[in-house]
Amino acid sequence: MADCRAFFTAALITTILFLSSGCQQIPRVEDHFNRSTPVETVRYFRYCVDAGELDLAYETLTTESRNSVTPLQFKALIRFVDVPELNNLGLRDLIVQSDVDTRPETVSGSTQNWWVTLILDTEDQYIEYSLKLVPGTASQWQVDLLSPRGIDLGGSDS
């Protein structure tokens, strides 16, 4: 019986040590990204989506976007929505797997709003999906989720 307890205790200690040494916390988004420019805000947003920090990603949205899309709806959009027109590519995959064009464009007719384009280039298709960025409070930019601009420029016809 004593051998069984010693074995169980040793196994428990080993498991605790293994779990505590192997589990690393995801770095805080604020340590690597900020929202002081349109491009950095998109990087911030993408990192939050990739890390599963969907509450922080939701906070980057404009007030109008948050008034139209609840936090639960936003989480469902990110996790479960596939776009049939884009070969059923998931919205999360589109956001996370794309490259960010570091040259934002001004929104036509505006001097304050910018388009920041996400580019997904795969064997099957080439997609440019632009997020509209608007200035927010405290020198932070916000994502206008209700006004995206996207185009699928095709790819190989195989």
Domains and CATH numbers, the chain: 33-152 (3.10.450)
Cα–Cα distance measured from residue 91 to residue 82, given in angstroms and rounded to the nearest whole number: 6
Alpha helices in the chain (DSSP H): 2-22, 38-51, 54-59, 63-68, 71-80, 91-97
pLDDT of residue 89: 84
**Ranges of residues in the chain whose predicted pLDDT is under 70:** 1-32, 85, 151-158
Q: How far apart are CA 151 and CA 129, in angstroms?
A: 6
Q: Which residues, listed in sequence order, are joined to residue 8 by a DSSP beta bridge?
A: none
Instruction: Give the pLDDT confidence score for residue 84 in this predicted structure.
Output: 73
Torsion angles phi and psi, residue 83, rounded to 5: -100, 110
Helix H or strand E segment including 134: strand 126-135
Q: What percent of the chain has pLDDT over 90?
A: 51
DSSP code for 61: B
